[in-house]
Structure 1
Amino acid sequence: MRKLYLIIILILSITTTLQSPSAYAHTNNSEGYSLIEVNDNHINYELKVDLTELGHAINLEMGQQQLFDTKIVQDYVNSRIELYADSVKVEGTLEASDVETINDKQFAVMNLKYQLEDKPEKLVLDYNMFLDDSDPSHANYATVKLDGGQQEGVLSFESRELEIGEVSFVQTATQFLLLGLEHIFTGYDHILFVISLLFGAKTIKNNFTLVTAFTIAHSITLILATLDIVQLPGRLVEATIALSIIYVALINIFNPDSKQQPWLAFAFGLIHGFGFAGILSEMRLDGSHLATSLLSFNIGIEIGQLIIVAIVFPILLWLKKLTVKPATWVIPGASVAILAFGLVWFIERAF
C-alpha cells in the first residue's frame, strides 16, 4: 500500500512538472556578457546576449540571417546601451556579429566599435538591454579594461550603471556577494539537493558534517573552474547535478532510515561547484579583482546555503519529535516530488 501511494505521487509529480515551465532550473533569467576594451582612439565592445531574448525584444524571430541585419540590431543596441567618455556620449557601430553556444544556449555575439577623439580618463556605461521591454530579470556580467587595469560589474534592473575606475573594494565585494546569494536562491536544483541531504541528516552533528563536506567540495571546483584549471562540458555538469538529486532522493524514498554520508555530499559537491562557476568563468576575471570577486561570490553562496539549512533543518527535527510522526510520510512524499524534478531536469539536460 505504501509503495502504491509513493508511485501515485511520483506519477502526479512528473505530470505536473512536465506541464509547468517554472519547474526547470535556471529559467526566466536571461544572461548577457560584456567585454569592453578602451584603446587610444576607440572602444571595442564585445556583447553577448541570449539570441531568443534579443528576438523578443526587437519583435523578430532571431537567427543567423536576422542577426546580420545590422541596422535593426545596431539601432536597438544603441538605444539600450549608452557609453559616456569623459561625460560625452558616444555611439557604437556594429562591426561584426555571430551566434555562439554558451552552456547549451544560443547567444548573439555582437562586436561594436566606439570611435573616440582621445583616450578617456573616465568611462560610464548605462545598460538597459531587455530590462524595460522583455526581461526585467536579465543580468549582464561586464568586464572592462582601461589603462592596464580591469574591472568587473553585474548590470541588472536595480543596478544599470557602471563607472570605470570608480568602484571601490567594498562595492565590488558587496556586488558579488549579492550575486552569489541570487545564484543559490534561483538555482532550484542546488536548493533541492541541499534539502535532500538534510532529509538524511539524523543529528545536528551529522547535518554539520554534510553541509561542511558539500561546502568544501563545491568551493574547490568553483575556484578550479573559475581559474580555468579544470573545465567540464556544461551539459555534462548540469545533467550530473540532476543525477545527484535523483540519487539522494531515491535513498530517502527506499531507505529513509539510512544516514547520509559526508563522502556522498563531498563527491556531488565537486560537481555542483562547476555549476556555480558557470557565470564567473564567462566573465574572464583576472588580477586583484579575481580574488575579491571569487571570494565574495562564494561567501554569498554559503550565506544563502546557511539560510536554507537554518530554515529547513529545525522544521525536520520538529517533525521527527512529534508523537504522530508525520515525517514518516512527509520526507518520503517530498522526496518523490524532488525525484520527479530531478528526472525532468536530467531528461531536459542530457537529451
Structure 2
Amino acid sequence: MFRNRLPLLRLRSALLLLGVVLLPVLAEAHKLNTDLSKLSRTDVVLGYLEVGFTHILPLGLDHILFILGLFVLEPRLKPVLWQATAFTVAHSITLGLAAAGVVQPLPSVVEPLIALSILFVAVENLLTDRLQPWRIALVFAFGLLHGLGFAGVLAEIGLPKHAFVEALISFNVGVELGQVTIILLAWFLVGKWYGRKPWYKQRVVVPVSVLIGAVALWWTVERVFFV
C-alpha cells in the first residue's frame, strides 16, 4: 500500500518544492512599470532577476520544453547542467549584443527558428540512445538563438541607463535560476527514480519527445504563417 502511494508522495513533494522556489520570487515582485531612471540599484537587481525568472517559469513554455528536451535524453544532473550552462553563456552573449544595439533581431525570423531548435532536440532524442559529445556545441548555438528571443522581453521593458550592466546580469541570472528549477523538478520527478530503468527510453524519452516535437512543429507553422 505504501509503495502505491509513493508516486503521489513524490508529486506532492515536487509541487511543494516548486512552491518554495516560486513564492519568494513572486512575493518580492518589483514592478518595472515606473520610470526606470528612478529605480535604485537594489530595485533594478531584484526587478530584473524576477523578470528573468518568470520569463522561464511560468511564462516561457517554449524555453521550458527546450530544457525538458535536453533533460529527458540523459536525466542525470551533471550532463544536463553542463548543457544548461552552455545555453546560458550563449544566450547571455546575444542578449547583451542586442541590448547594446549591436544586433537587431527580427522576431519574425527568430521565433520560428526557436521553435525549430526545440523540434530538432526532440527529433534527436528519438534517433539516438545516448547523449552525443557534440551536443553541448549544438546547445551553445541554440543558446545564441534563444538569446535573441530574450532580447524581445528586455526591449519591451527597457534597461535603465544608470544600471545597465546590473539589469542585464540580473535578468540572465533570473533566467538561469528558472532553468535550474526546471531541471531539478524534472530530476526529482523522473530522473532520480526512473532514469536507470531499462524501459526509460521507451516509456519516457519517446512519448515526451514526441509530445515536445509535435508542439514545436505546430509553433513553427504558426509563427511562420499565422503571426
Alignment TM class, shorter chain as reference: 0.7 to 0.9
- SS state of the match for residue 32, structure 2? strand
Residue in structure 1 matched with residue 191 of structure 2 by the alignment = 316
Q: Where do residues 84-103 of structure 1 align in structure 2 (5 Å cutoff)?
A: none
Q: Can you list the C-alpha shifts for 1:232-274, whole angstroms capped at 9, x where unaligned?
A: 2111100000000111100112223343610011010110001
Q: Distance in 1 between matches of 2:169 and 2:158?
A: 15
- SS state of the match for residue 181, structure 1? helix
Q: Distance in 2 between matches of 1:246 and 1:163?
A: 39
Higher fraction of strand: 1
Among 267, 273, 276, the alignment partner of 2:141 is 267
- Cα deviation, residue 318, structure 1: 2.1
Question: TM-score, normalized by length of structure 2?
Answer: 0.77
Is 1:331 equivalent to 2:205 in the alignment?
yes
**Structure 1, unaligned runs of 5 or more:** 1-152, 156-161
Q: Where do residues 112-127 of structure 1 align in structure 2 (5 Å cutoff)?
A: none
Is 1:195 equivalent to 2:73 in the alignment?
no
Question: TM-score, normalized by length of structure 1?
Answer: 0.51
Paired residue type of 2:191: L
Higher relative contact order (CA 8 A, sep 6+): 2
- Cα deviation, residue 208, structure 1: 2.8
Q: Is the 8 A contact 1:218 1:272 kept in 2?
A: yes
Is 1:217 equivalent to 2:90 in the alignment?
yes
- Cα deviation, residue 283, structure 1: 4.2
CA separation of 1:196 and 1:213: change in aligned 2, threshold 3 A: same
Is 1:170 equivalent to 2:42 in the alignment?
yes
Larger Rg: 1
- SS state of the match for residue 154, structure 1? coil
After the TM superposition, which parts of structure 1 deviate over 6 Å for at least 4 consecutive aligned residues?
none
Paired residue type of 1:208: L
- Cα deviation, residue 228, structure 1: 1.1
Q: Is the 8 A contact 2:125 2:206 kept in 1?
A: yes
**Structure 2, unaligned runs of 5 or more:** 1-30
Among 163, 182, 185, the alignment partner of 1:289 is 163
Q: Distance in 2 between matches of 1:167 and 1:254?
A: 50
- Number of equivalent positions: 193
Q: Distance in 1 between matches of 2:36 and 2:194?
A: 52
Residue in structure 1 matched with residue 32 of structure 2 by the alignment = 154
Q: Distance in 1 between matches of 2:137 and 2:185?
A: 24
Q: Where do residues 16-27 of structure 1 align in structure 2 (5 Å cutoff)?
A: none
CA separation of 1:197 and 1:286: change in aligned 2, threshold 3 A: same
- Cα deviation, residue 278, structure 1: 0.4
- Cα deviation, residue 297, structure 1: 1.2
Q: Distance in 2 between matches of 1:164 and 1:215?
A: 25
Q: Distance in 2 between matches of 1:195 and 1:220?
A: 22
Residue in structure 2 matched with residue 350 of structure 1 by the alignment = 224
Q: Is the 8 A contact 1:228 1:281 kept in 2?
A: no
Q: Can you list the C-alpha shifts for 1:157-199, whole angstroms capped at 9, x where unaligned?
A: xxxxx47875321112111111111111211111101110112
Residue in structure 1 matched with residue 19 of structure 2 by the alignment = none
Q: Distance in 2 between matches of 1:242 and 1:309?
A: 20
Q: Distance in 1 between matches of 2:201 and 2:192?
A: 9
Q: Distance in 1 between matches of 2:36 and 2:68?
A: 41
Q: Is the 8 A contact 1:213 1:269 kept in 2?
A: yes
Q: Where do residues 69-148 of structure 1 align in structure 2 (5 Å cutoff)?
A: none
Residue in structure 1 matched with residue 8 of structure 2 by the alignment = none
- Cα deviation, residue 319, structure 1: 0.9
Q: Is the 8 A contact 2:36 2:159 kept in 1?
A: no
Q: Distance in 2 between matches of 1:290 and 1:199?
A: 36
Paired residue type of 1:217: A
